[in-house]
Structure 1
Amino acid sequence: MSISLNLIQSLALAVIVLLIGSMLKKRVGFLRKYFIPTPVIGGLVFAALMLVGNQTGSWSVELDQSLTDLLLVAFFTATGFAFSVKDLKQTGIIGLKLAVLTVILVIVQNAIVPLISPLAGIDPLLGLTMASMSMAGGPGTAAAFGPTIVNMGIENATLVALSAATFGLVMGSIIGGPVAKYLIKRHKLTSKDVSETIDLDFTNKSDGLSEKTFMNSSFIILISMGLGTLMVMLLNLTGFIWPDYVGGLFVAAILRNVFDSMNITLNLKSINIIGNIALSLFLALTIMGLEIWNLFELALPMIIVLLTETIVMILFAIFIIYRVMGKNYDAVVMSSGMSGVGIGSTPNAVANMEAVIEGNGPSPNSMIILPVIAAVFLSIFNPIIITLFINLL
């Protein structure tokens, strides 16, 4: 039995899948513990049912995914409005160091791909799907760039990228604690060994939600998306091929800082909500369309690449992040947090740091600065760096 759904039916089914994912997340502790996103849960359940149908020859469902491009551009454009030079300045030297380390980590994750891909017996472009695209980027970036690699002739790139991202969400929560424990024991640190606390104010003065704020936020996102297409045309003149969604991200980041300089306040809460809705629907539709049966023959190469990326993350946290961030207790907590966000997501980072703090004492700077810096700089610079490596490999 084969069922073909049109756009409206596919979108409605994606919403049902999201509701199923939300229900499962509330009832299954493992999914909450490792911060598996709702669209990933529901999407994988649907993909697993399609796997059963494929293997038994019983059923298949063909989805209309023509809306995914629009949803993807909307998400990245909304993300661009988070980049504020004004906010970055508030974090001082600690924030600057962390921002630089975040960018370096992304470069390292991609740079090792040409070295380990031959060992795993795979094309470097396929290896790239298991680098910062899925590790530091998470499911959203993995689903965004996977089709780009597929269009370059690499089959199953989206499937591998999303599978790697799911692995990262779990592993990101596992390695943070041991990293912190090793550093605290090795250097005999306590919560008294911290940097001077920084007073930060990232509050948005226009956080109220109304029909008008949602309308204005929708309009500015759509305008930025349109201008972003022109930005991509200009970027493509460099000889590199840039994905459409990078343009919207650039334009949004520029507009945010122009508005900051003019003391014009954007309603970031409504912008974030719109972006998150777009991301949830995009992920659900993308993961629902995964052909899991094509993953079987890639299991061993994936294990080789993903274990290498995990080891690199651990070493980077212990020997680079800890030292650069001051070799004190704050640095330990940030190393644990970066272990989470570096191959998982921002919630992984926060959970790792909370676990360390619960057992060893407070670290105000870490909890305030790291989630903001890591999330913003990964959102802005990771797509740029990925695009550069795609064009270089």
Structure 2
Amino acid sequence: MFPNSPVDSGALNSLIFYLSVLGLILFVGTLLRLKVGIFKKYFIPASLIAGFIGLLLGPYSLNVLPAEMVATWGSLAGVLITIVFAPMLIGMTLGNSKEASKFAVPQVMYSYLGATLQIGIPLIIAGLILIPLFGVNQLFGTVIEIGWAGGHGTAGGMSEVFTTLGWGDGSSIALTSATLGLLIGIFGGMIIINIGVKKGYTSVIKDQSQLKTAKQADTSEKVASSYSSVNSNVVESFGFHAAIISIAILLGWVLQGLLSPIIPGLPLFPMAMIGGLIVNIILSKTKYFELIDRHTLQRIQGLALEFLIVGAVASISIPVVIEYAVPLLILTATSILVLVWYFFYVGPRMFEKDWFEHSIVNLGTLTGVIAVGLMLLRTVDPDMKTDAAAAYALRAPFFSPFLGGGLITALIPTLIVAYSSLIVGIGFLAISALILVLAYVFGIFRLNRRSVRQSVNKSA
């Protein structure tokens, strides 16, 4: 049940050296992010820049870094993603405000619709076209939702899942998909914003001359990003929170062991998140719940995520990407068309007011990361005059733990192995249709909006 042999000290020394080099590359990536204009303008994360530096120096390019080092970085992703997910539900409390819930419902339904479409359509395309014509793996259709909505962190973290289920190339393809999604979110989002302003769809910005790329300080004043909730004479606060995360991971490990006979290939990280929920429920019944500082947990998550992204991107297998280039481009083009329909057709019919602003923040998140979604929103609503940002924030606890890299995302590959890409794709497309029906029944989705311009005029 437990490992019965110690880890070789030489292997540990090698791991420390590999992590040190990874940290050096991240530092260089940070300097480039701070100094290079195009990186600053389009909010390219330092970890992504560092990952591409590692890829350039790796065995498939300049061959400066040894293959063993890069392979170790790639393997770390499966470990680090568990640290990212374990504290996700620890320290969280949900308000009881009915008004807040009602406020967030359209955003929740719109987000779920976008994610289920991003799962269902690619899986159907893979099942009907790509698998028969190109002989790709049954899991190929998962790389869109894993890479786009999940981002580079989820794409890298799923490497162990892909390997366990017999598709070791999956992580490289998912990471490439994540990079494409990030570019589509940034540049495609700006194109859509310009179209929206020109046609009068936006609520705040009324002229293209008012458009400015959302500014974000690259450095900030020295403010507290976490708080010490435990006296340092007792225990270092980061150590205390790391201990809580460790308990969540141990509980997740037990859950994984119990469920693995029923669900083969079940990854650890969603189980660690459920372990965190168990920890949260138990501690919330005690006075020690007040010792949890969400900001400290987020700092630990952020540390793991930064190193995860650098290592995962640096370990992308370029020959594998070239091999799958054509089917990946077909899947990407199809997903773009679905996203455009989702934005321009569903958006104005789902949101009664400020539909463009509510929709654009979701578009950025579904293709890239939260930062891209907020950047696009700040571009069309610089002073946050609409309710889009608040509604988007309220929807997070109801969406993030499940899709866009959450529990459901992690389980989809296992479902595909059991039932096939086509069957699972049809199932998620049916869920998308059900979401639209429910939204219509409850008066959230309105078919009588004959045009997006009518919706704009109504909300003005």
Question: TM-score scaled to structure 1, two decimals?
Answer: 0.83
SS in 2 for 1:86: coil
* 1:21–1:38 contact (8 Å) kept in structure 2: yes
1:344 to 361, 368, 373: 368
Instruction: Give the drift of 1:259.
Output: 5.0
340-349 vs 20-29, which deviates more?
20-29
1:372-387 equivalences under 5 Å are 373-374=395-396, 377-382=399-404, 383-387=406-410
* 2:107–2:395 contact (8 Å) kept in structure 1: yes
1:202 maps to which residue?
none
SS in 2 for 1:80: coil
- CA change 1:86–1:233 in 2 (3 A) is farther
256-265 vs 306-315, which deviates more?
256-265
Structure having the larger proportion of residues in helix:
1
1:17-56 equivalences under 5 Å are 17-50=25-58, 51-53=60-62
2:390 maps to which residue?
368
Residue 113 of structure 2 is aligned to residue 99 of structure 1: no
- CA change 1:68–1:298 in 2 (3 A) is closer
> What is the CA RMSD across the aligned residues, in angstroms?
3.0
1:309 maps to which residue?
335
Residue 105 of structure 2 is aligned to residue 86 of structure 1: no
- CA change 1:355–1:187 in 2 (3 A) is closer
In 2: Cα distance, 1:41 partner to 1:88 partner:
42
Q: Give CA-to-partner distance per residue, 1:29-73, whole Å, 9 cap, x none.
A: 22233333222211211112222245xxx8733123465443221
132-141 vs 313-322, which deviates more?
313-322
SS in 1 for 2:67: strand
1:190 maps to which residue?
203
2:227 to 208, 223, 233: 208
1:62 maps to which residue?
68
Residue 143 of structure 2 is aligned to residue 133 of structure 1: no
335-344 vs 87-96, which deviates more?
87-96
Q: Give CA-to-partner distance per residue, 1:71-125, whole Å, 9 cap, x none.
A: 2211111223375433886732131221232223222111112322253433331
* 1:53–1:60 contact (8 Å) kept in structure 2: no
1:357 maps to which residue?
381
1:274-285 equivalences under 5 Å are 274-285=300-311
Q: Percent identity?
A: 21
In 2: Cα distance, 1:71 partner to 1:285 partner:
10
Q: Give CA-to-partner distance per residue, 1:159-179, whole Å, 9 cap, x none.
A: 111111111112112233444
Instruction: Give the drift of 1:145.
Output: 1.3
1:197 maps to which residue?
none
The letter of the residue matching 2:175 is L
SS in 2 for 1:101: helix
- CA change 1:321–1:285 in 2 (3 A) is same
87-96 vs 168-177, which deviates more?
87-96
In 2: Cα distance, 1:188 partner to 1:290 partner:
40
* 1:177–1:336 contact (8 Å) kept in structure 2: no
Instruction: Give the drift of 1:22.
Output: 0.6
1:151 to 155, 161, 164: 164
Instruction: Give the drift of 1:285.
Output: 2.4
The letter of the residue matching 1:124 is Q
1:245 to 269, 278, 285: 269
Instruction: Give the drift of 1:16.
Output: 0.7
Q: Give CA-to-partner distance per residue, 1:122-161, whole Å, 9 cap, x none.
A: 33312212x2101111111111113312332224211111
In 2: Cα distance, 1:332 partner to 1:304 partner:
28
Question: TM-score scaled to structure 2, two decimals?
Answer: 0.72
Larger of the two Rg values belongs to structure: 2
* 1:74–1:275 contact (8 Å) kept in structure 2: yes
Structure 1: runs of 5 or more not aligned? 193-205
1:199 maps to which residue?
none
- Equivalenced residue count is 370
In 2: Cα distance, 1:11 partner to 1:233 partner:
29
